[in-house]
Amino acid sequence: MASLLASILIDGFAYGMVLFMVSVGLTVTLGLMRFVNLAHGMFAMIGGYAAASLITMAGVPYILALILAAIVAGIIALGLEISVIRWMYGRPELDQVLLTIGLVFIGIALAGMLFGNSLVPVPLPDMLRGASDLGFRVMPTQRIVAAVVGLLSLLAIWLLLDRTMFGIRLRATVDNARAAGELGINTRRVYAIAFSVGAALAGLGGVVGAELLPVEPYYPLKYLVLFLAVVAVGGPGSVFGSLIAALLLGTVETAGKYLAPGFATIGLFVVMLLVLSWRPDGLFHRKSRL
Amino acid sequence: MSFGTVLRAGAVALAMTAPAMAETVKVGVIGPFSGPFSGSFGEPFRQGVETYVAMNGQPADGIEVEFIWRDLQKPDPGQARALAQELVAKDGVQYLAGFVFTPNAIAAAGISQQAKIPTVIFNASASAVVSQSEYYVRTSNTLAQVSVPTAQDALDKGYKTVVTAVSDYAPGVDAETNFAKAFTEGGGEVLESIRMPLSTTDFGPYLQSIQLKKPDALFVFLPYGPPTYSFVNAYRDNGLDKAGIAFVGTSETQEVDLQSLGDAALGLETGYFYSAAHESPENDAFKAKLKELYPNAEPNPATVAAFDGTHALYEMIRATGGKTDPDAAIAAIKGKSWESPRGPITIDADTRDIVQNVYIRKVEKDADGRLVNREYKTYEAQPDFGAQK
């Protein structure tokens, strides 16, 4: 019984960290910037493809490929921000939905053309493959990597938002773009950088989560509900909230798999329903407009 | 230029246009040529058909086959019926072919039956499909056909207990039922049957709880692509192989996924109807032509099913001289046997379903370091064990 509970907590934590990694970028773009970014999965997919190509074609080591993949996703996002997304911030949410879902379809078609319609694995180095022995059971080594990268990202985002000038400017811009502009903040640039950072985090998540959510053209649509669930339950805009939500959802689904296989996925949505009817703005919604 | 020269030139010109007056036989092919299933089915279908045509030319002198491709991305019975109807009524096709998903094949059966359209099923693998229309023929497989020999092989290997873990959808349930029946009838015991939701991404907990049951083997059935990939990796990463729980599968290591599964697939044993590593001149010729036409294509079970399906179409077209005579066409294919790239196959004279060898294979590396399904045991001429008698 104790080992069953431990198993649920360990697997739930490992799965939750992967969920956190693949959705944390969305917390920034959707939550902080209030931009309805349904194309989040596309940036994760770009990261995954970038890492897979770098490792298999250029022989780049895994960790370096991970960082480069995030940069690639960030740069592509920056290009999109400057060319199309920038014009959508003030527009109604429906317009943003239509634009980003359109981007998703273009992304799916392009990915299919460039990389084929079957999945592309992101090869792991031997060190990170296989099982790690925890004494009473084993755990996939790769999940430990996901957890570590997840915690590091959490720390980095917190530092960026709460401890840097950029964080102050971003919060000011999100709260009141006009006043921020009057005070000499280049709000356009702040938005562009924030969007790019969000996409880079998505790219990171795409690589780290590739064992569970394999990289393929339909990635952005297939897992969209998963990303949105994490951000909605956590409270849009709260990075810490996303972490708690991801861990909660991950643990609930994992418990379902151990105790009532077949109902596992329903369990996840029941929790989502309960949380959102109790707190419609999510667990950690910030009181002010940020 | 004399009058005679003009006449001769005219005669030559006439002779050259003669083939244009040949009988054109239209075949409507319905399948997922775009969308998420195009990589595992739509593209292989087209490649199988084109490869067969490239190798065999036209069915006979004066008969020309024209394939009309219709895209049907997912299980959508209403749309399947509408497409079949349109192909028959508007495009005037004599034959239908394709069909990945069982619900689509069943929905189109009414059209096939009423309009008497001989139809070759390239995939849809529930047992019930072929009995839905008297003009249905199947060149793929049924789930019972591959699961039953796989269960027998598991018993032969000395496995006494299994846990079955299948994706919770019709084919998964079919595979589970047939495997469990054959395994328990042969004296084995099924400790637990787990049905995993289709949307599952993290298989770790299932595998951990299976490990606690300590079965001799684990029977799985999962859809192609991402679920198979995640499951196989989770099987390794959770240490089930080291704990001595054998992996027993059917289509999991099929060629379209095999290379992307990578080293995690090494040593996995499955029972299925086609391996690209099958050693025969027919398979070599097929693979060579496929590679020539589509350098990046993998010879896959779906490719071979479409290749053989085209052979079945050619047989029917030849038997009727390209004329519309559905009863003669179906009569001609019943009981036909031929050597396919997968090995010898027969269209059963009564059921119109395929009878074929099921091979037990093990994933190995070939001389070039590519993963292959190496066949090492054959269950010959397996029928559809799920057919209703």
In this complex, is the C-beta atom of B199 within 8 Å of any C-beta atom belonging to chain A? yes
Q: Which amino acid is at B355?
A: V
Spell out which residues of chain A touch residue B252, defining contact as CB-CB under 8 Å. Answer: none
Residues B327-362 as b/e (b if ≥16 CB within 10 A, e otherwise) read eebbebbeebeeebbbbebbbbeebbbbbbbbbbbb
Distance from the B141 Cα atom to the nearest Cα atom in chain A, whole angstroms: 22
Question: pLDDT for A225-263, tens place per residue?
Answer: 888 999 999 988 788 888 999 999 999 988 888 888 767
Question: pLDDT for B243-290, tens place per residue?
Answer: 899 999 999 999 988 988 888 899 999 999 999 999 999 999 999 999
Close Cβ partners of A228 (under 8 Å, ≥ 6 residues apart) = A26
In terms of DSSP bridges, do strands B217-221 and B354-365 run parallel, antiparallel, or are they unpaired? unpaired
Q: Is B195's CB within 8 Å of A261's CB? A: yes
Range in A32-36, A285-289, B183-187, B368-372 the model is least confident about = A285-289
- Spell out the alpha helix ranges (H) of chain B: 3-17, 43-56, 77-89, 102-114, 143-156, 170-185, 204-213, 226-237, 255-261, 281-293, 301-319, 326-333
pLDDT at A290 over 50: no
State the best of A104, A212, A224, A247 to mutate against chain B, taking most chain B CBs within 10 Å: A212
Q: Which amino acid is at B46?
A: R
Q: pLDDT: is B157 or B198 the higher one?
A: B157
State the best of B33, B46, B196, B201 to mutate against chain A, taking most chain A CBs within 10 Å: B201
Q: Greatest CA separation found in chain A?
A: 61
Answering whether pTM is above 0.95, one says no
Tell me, what's the pLDDT at A289? 44
Tell me, what's the pLDDT at B19? 47
Question: pLDDT for A128-182, tens place per residue?
Answer: 887 887 777 778 888 888 888 888 988 998 898 888 999 899 888 888 888 988 9
* Six token digits for residue B349: 């004279």
In this complex, is the C-beta atom of B318 within 8 Å of any C-beta atom belonging to chain A? no
Tell me, what's the pLDDT at A67? 94
Q: In this predicted complex, what is the ipTM?
A: 0.82
pLDDT band at B362 (very low <50, low <70, confident <90, very high): very high
